[in-house]
Structure 1
């Protein structure tokens, strides 16, 4: 994965950010998801979201996630956006979008 652009905004003391990433079609997890029509596995997308929040929200660890909704597939080699907003201390509402479509939403928590 590689980050292409980062934008940090602060709103009423809570953190929010948008990060663009691309996962290459030669990523080791993709050959089985699905041959001839690859998609990025949900576990890899949750991990990418966790890494972005850990890095940019300046927290040491995340304890879990909840309310995971898979709304559409995310394809490799096409840039997607990970956006997060701290809704209350230690809770981050996260969305992953590709081609202006919200594909995945979840809540990450650090407490």
Structure 2
């Protein structure tokens, strides 16, 4: 089962401040953060009794950035769950593929 969601990168996103003046592009870490959050939203909430989030750490086992993303772009994130807690992700802007890779949650994750 695949999950598809969208992400809008606002022109005033703080990551553009220094990345890069005159020709702003979205840093790869911002894209990866969006993928991690999207995958974790598909999992049941995990919170300890003291209210602190106990979401397990995840691993980005592969990531390729194929095309730069500029201010104001709307992206499509396609998530495809795999074996052993892995999720393949594909990020695109229209027909242009932006990034692809695999994220792995620990076996103890729901």
Q: Calculate the TM-score normalised by the size of structure 1.
A: 0.79
Q: Are residue 110 (structure 1) and residue 96 (structure 2) matched?
A: no
Superposed, which structure 2 residues align to 1:42-61 within 5 Å?
Answer: 42-58=28-44, 60-61=55-56
**Bigger RCO of structures 1 and 2 (CA < 8 A, at least 6 apart):** 2
RMSD: 1.5
Quick one: distance in 1 between partners of 2:43 and 2:32?
16
Unaligned runs of at least 5 residues, structure 2: 46-54
CA deviation after TM superposition for structure 1 residue 62, in Å: 4.2
The structure with the greater share of residues assigned to helix is: 2
Give the 4+ runs in structure 1 shifted more than 4 A: none
Unaligned runs of at least 5 residues, structure 1: 1-9, 11-15
Task: Return the match for 1:77 from 66, 72, 76.
Answer: 72
Q: Are residue 17 (structure 1) and residue 3 (structure 2) matched?
A: yes
SS of aligned partner of 1:66: strand
Q: Calculate the TM-score normalised by the size of structure 2.
A: 0.80
What is the aligned partner in structure 1 of residue 88 from structure 2?
93
The structure with the greater share of residues assigned to strand is: 1
